[in-house]
Amino acid sequence: MTYKFDKGIIDKYIKKLDLTELYSDESDLKKYKISIYEFLISENYEPSIILGNGAYGVVCKAYDKKNNRYVAIKKIVWDDDISVKRTLFEVKFLNILNHTNIIKLYSASIHESIELYIITELMDYDLHKLIYSSEKITNKNLKYMIYQLLDGIKYLHGYGIMHRDIKPKNILINQNYLLKICDFGLAKKYHGSAHGLPVSDNSEKMTDYVVTRWYRDPTIILNKGIYTELADIWSVGCVIAEMVLKRPLFDGDDEKDQIEKITKVLGPPPEPRSLPEAGPRPWRSRVEKAKHWSVKSVFSNINIDPKLCDLLDNLICYEDVRFTADEALNHPYFMEDKSLIFRIWDKLGPALWGRR
Ligand SMILES: Nc1ncnc2c1ncn2[C@@H]1O[C@H](COP(=O)(O)OP(=O)(O)O)[C@@H](O)[C@H]1O
Ligand SMILES: [Mg+2]
């Protein structure tokens, strides 16, 4: 069934998010068919191939003749009011964020009123493709990518924004291993309202469906939807582990199987946070007794930098002892190579630094 377009809802969010420039001049639009997908875009763009698609959009590569550059165009077809709201928030987030490791928005527009187009800088591939390609990732490049991923997350959390869908397909890479986080379709502002970003309505509770299961913080499942931005850190840990293992770390078939796979490695979880601190703590004492429970056991037969293994132990753990992005960036794993990382960045040029 096609979504019955309600201009009132769209106008409400456009006004609220201060995105009035989204309504574009429709006079120079042209219809292109790429694979099975139709794109209604300005004649200034020459679309070529489909780069990927996900739950909400389909993305094509195009040449922007006016600005002489290649771009990625994400087309989103709205199918309900929630998708209107989510995707307009996605544009708002991209519009405001400005960091080397976050995909850069060039423009966005609404045509025929039920389609939204988001035009961003073009990257070479996503991390999923890199992980499952035959390309060997050197330790140096691995460290460089992990550093950038954490730096992007630190920036987001500094703004009070949770990404809520960190996974290899939402992380983009170029040939030089420059990394950018994309797909802010599930992102949420969780405190403050600085920089013109409104906190999402209360109508969308934190209990919403979030984070693809394999990368989902067990706190989200066990704590009945009460979780923090550290859920992104769990996902980052799972992504890094997947880069090392070349397979997903916890690939549960459903939520129950997911939790079983996690507890087999990490031991029983601490009691939910809502319980009072006093009284017997059966889970906790069992965890304390079983100190051998750690994600490190997964890597025991693998050639991995022991410092990276220690960092992962602090990312893939229950929330009460999990690192923040800042703590992770200060881990000894990065220390000796920090100068090296900065030398690479210097070479890439200060333009890539973004606002920090
Ligand atoms: N700027 C880009 N450069 C290159 N590929 C991209 C770009 N943006 C998206 N892609 C590809 O398209 C896929 C879907 O884009 P994404 O923004 O994640 O949409 P969805 O919300 O549908 O998941 C990504 O997984 C990636 O493979
Ligand atoms: Mg995606």
> What is the mean pLDDT of the segment spanning 145-173?
96
Buried b (16+ CB within 10 A) or exposed e, 78-101: beeeebbbbbbbbbbbbbbbebbb
* Confidence at 351, pLDDT banded by 50, 70, 90: very low
Separation CA 354–CA 99 (nearest Å): 4
CA-to-CA dists, residue 78 to 20, 86, 87, angstroms: 18, 10, 9
CATH 3.30.200.20: which residues of the chain?
A: 7-121
Ligand nearest to the CA of 185: 1
Ligand 2: centre distance to CA 303 (Å): 31
Ligand 2: centre distance to CA 170 (Å): 5
Rounded mean pLDDT of the chain? 85
Q: Residue 270: what residue type?
A: P
Ligand nearest to the CA of 74: 1
72 lines ligand 1 (CB under 6 A): yes
Q: What is the CATH number of domain 125-353?
A: 1.10.510.10
| Terminal Cα-to-Cα distance of the chain (whole angstroms) | 45
Closest Cα to atom 22 of ligand 1: 54
For residue range 80-90, list pLDDT tens digits in order: 888 888 889 99
Instruction: Specify the fold of 7-121.
Output: Phosphorylase Kinase; domain 1 (3.30.200)
CATH 1.10.510.10: which residues of the chain?
A: 125-353
Which pLDDT score is estimated for 23? Answer: 66
Separation CA 316–CA 164 (nearest Å): 16
Which pLDDT score is estimated for 211? Answer: 80
Sorted by sequence, the CB contacts under 8 Å of residue 12 that are 6+ apart come out as none
Catalytic residue among 64, 165, 183, 217: 165
DSSP reduced 3-state for 297:
helix
How large a percentage of the chain has pLDDT more than 90?
A: 61
Least confident piece of the model among 11-15, 137-141, 325-329 = 11-15
For residue range 217-264, list pLDDT tens digits in order: 999 988 877 889 999 999 999 999 999 999 999 999 999 999 999 999
Which pLDDT score is estimated for 46? Answer: 96
For residue range 279-317, list pLDDT tens digits in order: 544 444 444 545 678 999 999 999 999 999 999 999 999
57 lines ligand 1 (CB under 6 A): yes
- Mutation to probe ligand 1, out of 35, 39, 74 (largest number of atoms < 8 A from CB): 74
Which is nearest to 116 in space by CA: 205, 19, 213? 19
DSSP string, 62-122: EEETTTTEEEEEEEEE--SHHHHHHHHHHHHHHHH--BTTBPPEEEEEEETTTEEEEEEE-
121 vs 210, which has greater pLDDT? Answer: 121
The alpha carbon of residue 166 and the mean position of all alpha carbons in its chain are separated, in whole angstroms, by 3
Q: Is the pLDDT of residue 170 over 90?
A: yes
Counted residue by residue, the chain has a size of 356
